[in-house]
Amino acid sequence: MELLLPGLGLLFWTFVAFLIVFFILKAFAWKPILSSLKERETGIADAIASADKVKAEMASLKNENEAMMAKAREERAVMIKEAKETADKMVADAKEKAKAEYDKIVSDAQVAILQQKNAALTDVKNQVGSLVIQVAEKVLSRELSNKGEQENYIKQLTEGVKLN
């Protein structure tokens, strides 16, 4: 059993060695260890505070970004609406111009057709008048006693006259 229990002298010298090491550590190592732990604790607290600050800034930036995106979407919608209105107005103006041009061309064509028709009628009237005068001159220049002969002569004259 002696192997299991240490001797009294061994206990005493172990206790003395422990106290010497304890006081040496207290005098030289304990303060630097505590100060480094305090510094580390302060550094961790500062890092957590900085992380919270950065997190708050990120949330603020995110909100600002969302607001900017919403504003950009609104501006884009306004620009698209304005562009569509401008395009619709340009199409409507082009249609109006085309219709006005079409109406002008049609009215000019109708006037030209009417003028050509009137000119053709005048020409036909002049030719018919001229033919009637020529036939009348020939009929009057030749006096025929027989009515049948007169009709044959008129028929012969009308067949011989060329229309222009």
**What residue spans define the domains of the chain?**
21-160
Question: What is the share, in percent, of the chain residues with pLDDT greater than 90?
Answer: 61
pLDDT of residue 150: 73
pLDDT of 162 > 70? The answer is no
pLDDT of 146 > 80? The answer is no
Lowest mean pLDDT among 19-28, 97-106, 155-164: 155-164
Question: Residues near 142 by Cβ (< 8 Å), separated by ≥ 6?
Answer: 153
pLDDT of 164 > 80? The answer is no
Cα distance between residue 68 and residue 57, in whole Å: 16
pLDDT of residue 69: 96
Torsion on CA atoms 139, 140, 146, 147, rounded to nearest 10: 60
DSSP annotation of 1 reads: -
pLDDT in tens, 85-127: 999 999 999 999 999 999 999 999 999 999 999 999 999 888 8
Provide the residue type at 36 as one letter.
S
Q: Which residue has the tokens 């025929």?
A: 144
Cα distance between residue 50 and residue 45, in whole Å: 9
pTM above 0.85, yes or no: no
